Amino acid sequence: MTMKSRALLIGGTAGLGSVFAAPVMAAAPTTMDVTVNIPRLTVAEYHRPYVAFWVEKQGEAPKTVAVWYDFDMKANEGTKWLRDMRQWWRVSGRSMTFPARGVSSATRAPGSHKISFTRAQLGATAPGAYVLVVEAAREVGGRELLRIPFTWPARAGSGGNAQGQSELGLVSVAFR
């Protein structure tokens, strides 16, 4: 083998390597970012809302991905109001033990809050149509449920949103 043919062979191999590397760099997004706006309400007695997030897919069990509640109360007393998020409680909440590792966190004050979920956390294992459901309930307040459909695998920059009317403001989903 001559020096010139070795150079062509090495150059040709390097060229193929870059062709095969391109699809890896263009992989599907693996993270869902959810931005939740909790409105500031002018009421006599304000309590932060409890909020549950879960993912549904036709024919599969719903998967709870986050629950915001008052878990700092002594003797885990904050859990007794979780059932006020009625839809979530029926689909998966009543079968859970709290605090739930990787799912439970504190309630949030009014404002914009961003949380992120990986593919594994979402339970989005098979391609198809999914729905992110967000439900909020507030003591001495109301209750609200929003549904945001999405497709898995998602495209970077894709997403959706839903506008709440009382307990939730705009809830948006974006993939990266």
Query: What ranges do the domains of the chain cover?
Result: 28-175
pLDDT at position 20: 47
- 26 or 132: which leads in pLDDT: 132
- Kindly report the average pLDDT of the chain as a whole number: 86
Q: Which value, to the nearest 10 degrees, does the dihedral of the CA atoms of residues 113, 117, 121, 126 take? A: 130
Q: Which value, to the nearest 10 degrees, does the dihedral of the CA atoms of residues 125, 129, 130, 131 take? A: 170
pLDDT at position 27: 66
pLDDT at position 102: 86
**What is the pLDDT averaged over residues 142-154?**
95
Confidence band, pLDDT 50/70/90 cuts, at residue 3: low
pLDDT at position 76: 79
pLDDT at position 77: 84
Read off the tokens for 159.
């997403």
State yes or no: pLDDT of 17 exceeds 60.
no
pLDDT at position 163: 98
Q: Which amino acid, residue 67? A: V
Q: What is the CATH number of domain 28-175?
A: 2.60.40
**What is the pLDDT averaged over residues 85-101?**
93
* Edge-to-edge order in the sheet of strand 143-152: 104-105, 63-68, 50-57, 128-137, 143-152
- 74 or 131: which leads in pLDDT: 131
Q: Which of 174, 168, 165, 172 is nearest to 85 (CA)?
A: 168
14-18, 116-120, 135-139, 165-169: range with lowest mean pLDDT:
14-18
State yes or no: pLDDT of 36 exceeds 70.
yes
